[in-house]
Structure 1
């Protein structure tokens, strides 16, 4: 490498040009033309569609499940709907005393201003790519493979 001359800023720019440029990867915008499982995208500057065999997709853009623990120690609103009104959504305390007669049925229960905690719950993310979504892609291996990094959002 030859000697770099000029001011500090000029030297930095020259150094970045000399060693910082990576021709093996390009960042581009693309449009999803077919949703998974037969995923296809069209990169803005290309005339061809890329098919799923040419693509690597970030997990956050797919349908997937994660195990989580949820905890709230402040005002939390929890609600549930009972799909079977013949069966209450919870069990009564066997020692509870009820005054009056008749049948008690519930179609839902709401609890607010309560602490809330759930351990080892499973969340299923279902917001996978859809036709028409704009995405940010990185082309690697001279554009032979594209990685879909994320959705592109413009305000």
Structure 2
């Protein structure tokens, strides 16, 4: 079950935090990346199934994204930051909504 939220990355994150809130039912688990983005597949430790791109949401800093930067005080340029996650990486995953929602929050 992927959480589909409209808007840019910041509004998506805010909406996701609103959805999760300070919920004591959120668990943090460890997982292994089986296939990288965009067709991500993960295996959460101690779970018998694999989750795919339709099942998980991935935080922006782990996806390909664009940033405006300056180099050596020069002009502002846009650069693309490539996803740092690859097959075999270990990640932290927040499980919420009675373990029906999965958010990949960071590489570990």
Q: 2:97 matched to 1:141? A: yes
Structure 1: gaps (5+ residues): 1-19, 71-115
After TM superposition, the score normalised by the length of structure 2 is 0.73
Q: 1:56 to 1:49 in 2, by over 3 A?
A: same
Structure 1 residue 37 displacement after superposition? 1.4
Find the counterpart in structure 1 of residue 62 from structure 2: 61
What SS does structure 1 have at the residue aligned with 2:92? Answer: strand
Query: Who is 1:117 aligned against?
Result: 73
TM, length-normalised to structure 1: 0.52
Deviation at 1:149, TM superposition (A): 0.4
Q: Aligned to 1:118, what secondary structure does the other structure show? A: coil
Alignment correspondent of 2:84? 128
Runs of 4+ aligned structure 1 residues displaced above 4 Å come to none
Q: Alignment length, in residue pairs?
A: 87
Question: CA offsets per residue over residues 1-59 of structure 1, 9 Å max, x none?
Answer: xxxxxxxxxxxxxxxxxxx981x210000000111111110000101001111101011
CA distance in 2, matches of 1:51, 1:141: 17
Separation in 1 of the partners of 2:74 and 2:99? 45
Give the number of the structure whose alpha-carbon radius of gyration is greater: 1
Give the whole-Å Cα distance in 2 for the aligned partners of 1:21 and 1:64.
29
Query: Structure 2 unaligned runs (5+)?
Result: 1-21
